[in-house]
Structure 1
Amino acid sequence: MSNAAHAEYDMQTEAEAFLQRIRAYPDDDAQRLIFADWLDEEGDPRGRFIRVQLALAHLPERDRARDKLVSEERLLREAHYEEWTAPFRGLVSGPVFRRGFVDEVKVEARQFLRHAHEIFAAGPVRHIHLLDVGGSLPAVMQCPYLSRLSALTVYAQHAGEPLARAVARSPHLVGLKVLHLGRNRFADDAAEQLAASPALAGLEELDLSENEIGETGARALAASPHLNRLTSLELRENRLGPAGAEALAGSERLVALRRLGLNDNGIGAPRLHSLARAHDLLRIPVLDLALNDLTFMGLQAIFARPTNADPATVRLEELHLSSNPLDDAGAAVLAKCSHLGNLTALTLSNCNIGDEGARILANSPHLNRVTVLDLANNPIGDTGFRAIHNSTHWRALRQLLYSPAGASHEMRRMLDQNYNRPPRA
């Protein structure tokens, strides 16, 4: 063996010692930084890539310091992608880097069963998308290698209740923090299986979007004794109805819930007006009620009626109401609601709000903490935008999304100068 070959072998052997520690402690950033130090000494750009991604992992999404790091990250990844993903070639597809290493991959269930050892030997993978589950469902959910995951996605397999049951009964998913099971034809019985599973007690994020879960399934999730660590629950495009939404928002079990996605769930149905605790939706810090056929009367049931609500339970910070027929009357309901005083983001795109609605919003004393306002695809012209621009209440506003077609050139220039400046370098 030549001297150069000896040197390369020694380097690979030493690198493997670091990688073993990272695989053994995948959540420990210190192990990755130690490896980055060694790589820096060896002149390997992977060390800088690890540092950049670790820095990004700890910066808030809107922090302007991210811009330069994101650019550097992209350049490093593009230059070395083939080299850094080589150990995974032929095993998985769609590798995604996080914190300096391949963290997320897609793999067919049969391939996972045959090559799980090689996949996890190639890097500290934490999130797997299982594809073509089919007849491999029972075996794959009993695979011990699942215990190495913090996140699992099984999307659009149309497997129904058997998939929910297999997940709920797997002894190897107790370490999961994130579970995505969208578009699997789940009905209420599938939701009940998941809600009853003690194996899922560590979940922080659960996505059951694009299924067929109704009010009964929603009530099962709301009553689960095992989901008290959930911070995010995504249920868009299901059939919860207003009572299912009320049950989830008012749950005394889902005590950590910060985000509830209820897009397209028929919440604006007439039954909403008869609910006693519709105002429980105000308890969720980030609430998505887009595409629910909510009219101004529906908003009144949720936002204007809770005269008996304890102000301490009102935690709403981000409200998404896009694609609901709110009209100017809906804007008036929001403007008058004193419970929206902590709101920082309000999304009202495609809600048929006109100049009068914009003027009413501009004069609201309860929306003075909003920093992001989305009014795109509404019939608002210069009159409405001028009211917002001149408002004495909207001084916290930093970003305004709107449709340019409704505004004059001068108004667009004024709005963009005030609200939509690019971040400073």
Structure 2
Amino acid sequence: MLSKLQPPLDPEEAALIRAIVADPDDDTPRLVYADWLDEHARPDRARLIRVQCALEDLKTEERALLEKFGAQWIEEAYGRYGGEDHRFHRGFPEEVTMRFRTFLDHHATLNEYTPLRYLRLRGRLTDNMDDDLATLSRLPALQQVRSLEFDEPGVALPHSNYGPKGVEALASSSYLKGLQQLHLHSSQIGAVGAQVIANAPTFHNLTHLALTDRRLCPPDFDALAFLRSPNLNRLKEAQLGEQQYGDHALNYIRAVPNPSGPDAGPTP
């Protein structure tokens, strides 16, 4: 807790802070203050000032480079495959949205120019999306993928009909053990499909999970019991149906004893 009574500033330090307040867009007074902090045995605060000033400069340079060359670099990596919503991570367009069929046809060569780590898939291969997910789960190209999403949230597409069988196929994949984010926008997953995820060792590394099936609600689905699953103890964000849970909420849920557990008392 912050003290209500702050000690008076050193006059020299106060003057340096006034210079920063007078021109907050200029880094120079901040860097001068950082030098003063170093000279007065406060190197950590000085380091933070320099790091954050440098980051702002780098963000400006990043935007300029992407505006000038981004389209060219995306074309080099994905020109043969198309796709959209490309995003760069640490210098490479590792994030892409593409058609399911395109990914299936070219999965073996997609990593020639860039790591593929954030993948959103749209469309279908056959009339049975569960079978499509089974086909996908056997592709070695998934081994580097850290975020996997099917269809966009809020879009009710007729082919978003995969259910527990498709989820089981993903859960059985030996190529998805490094997955950290999973977003499934299907109205057919239900409590059975959710339980597959909760029990699957494949998904033990998940930090973000979105299941937008609106049927994931009482009385058929116990969200709190699901979120207490030991297999999902790394989750930092979750969406179940229309309910969203952040890191603080998840930590609280895990800390509260499960009233339906083996040690629970009788229900009145």
What interval of TM-score do these two structures reach, taking the shorter chain for normalisation?
A: 0.5 to 0.7
Contact kept, 8 Å, 1:107 with 1:130, in 2: the verdict is yes
Letter in 2 for 1:92: G
Moved more, 111-120 or 121-130: 111-120
Letter in 1 for 2:89: R
Partner of 2:233: 255
Counterparts of residues 119-198 of structure 1 (less than 5 Å)? 119-135=110-126, 159-170=128-139, 172-182=141-151, 184-198=160-174
Partner of 1:73: 62
Partner of 2:89: 98
Contact kept, 8 Å, 1:259 with 1:286, in 2: the verdict is no
Instruction: Report deviation, 1:307.
Output: 11
Residues 141-190 of structure 1: CA distance to partner in whole angstroms, max 9, x if unpaired?
xxxxxxxxxxxxxxxxx853212322344455344322212462222333
Contact kept, 8 Å, 1:218 with 1:244, in 2: the verdict is no
Counterparts of residues 296-335 of structure 1 (less than 5 Å)? 309=257
Evaluate the alpha carbon distance shift between residue 220 and residue 171 of structure 1 in structure 2; reply closer, same or farther with a 3 A threshold.
Answer: same
Instruction: Report deviation, 1:207.
Output: 1.0
d(CA) in 1 for partners of 2:210 and 2:141?
Answer: 23
Partner of 2:197: 221
d(CA) in 1 for partners of 2:111 and 2:129?
Answer: 29
Counterparts of residues 256-271 of structure 1 (less than 5 Å)? 256-264=234-242
d(CA) in 1 for partners of 2:72 and 2:234?
Answer: 41
Counterparts of residues 24-423 of structure 1 (less than 5 Å)? 66-87=55-76, 88-94=78-84, 95-108=86-99, 111-112=102-103, 119-135=110-126, 159-170=128-139, 172-182=141-151, 184-242=160-218, 243-264=221-242, 285=247, 287=249, 309=257
Name the SS of the counterpart of 2:201 in structure 1: coil
Letter in 1 for 2:148: L
Contact kept, 8 Å, 1:260 with 1:286, in 2: the verdict is no
d(CA) in 2 for partners of 1:307 and 1:106?
Answer: 37
The count of aligned residue pairs is 196
Q: Provide the aligned C-alpha RMSD in A.
A: 3.9
Name the SS of the counterpart of 1:253 in structure 2: helix
Residues 255-289 of structure 1: CA distance to partner in whole angstroms, max 9, x if unpaired?
22222112426x9xxxxxxxxxxxxx8xx72559x
Contact kept, 8 Å, 2:139 with 2:175, in 1: the verdict is yes
d(CA) in 2 for partners of 1:190 and 1:247?
Answer: 23
Name the SS of the counterpart of 1:180 in structure 2: strand
Q: Provide TM-score, normalisation by structure 2.
A: 0.56
Contact kept, 8 Å, 2:179 with 2:206, in 1: the verdict is yes
Structure 1 runs, 4 residues or longer, greater than 6 Å off? none
Letter in 2 for 1:259: E
Extract unaligned runs of 5+ from structure 1: 1-62, 136-157, 268-280, 289-301, 311-425
Work out which structure has the larger RCO, using CA pairs closer than 8 Å and 6 or more positions apart in sequence.
Answer: 2
Contact kept, 8 Å, 2:190 with 2:215, in 1: the verdict is yes
Partner of 1:330: none
Evaluate the alpha carbon distance shift between residue 190 and residue 72 of structure 1 in structure 2; reply closer, same or farther with a 3 A threshold.
Answer: same
User: Percent identity at matched positions?
Assistant: 27
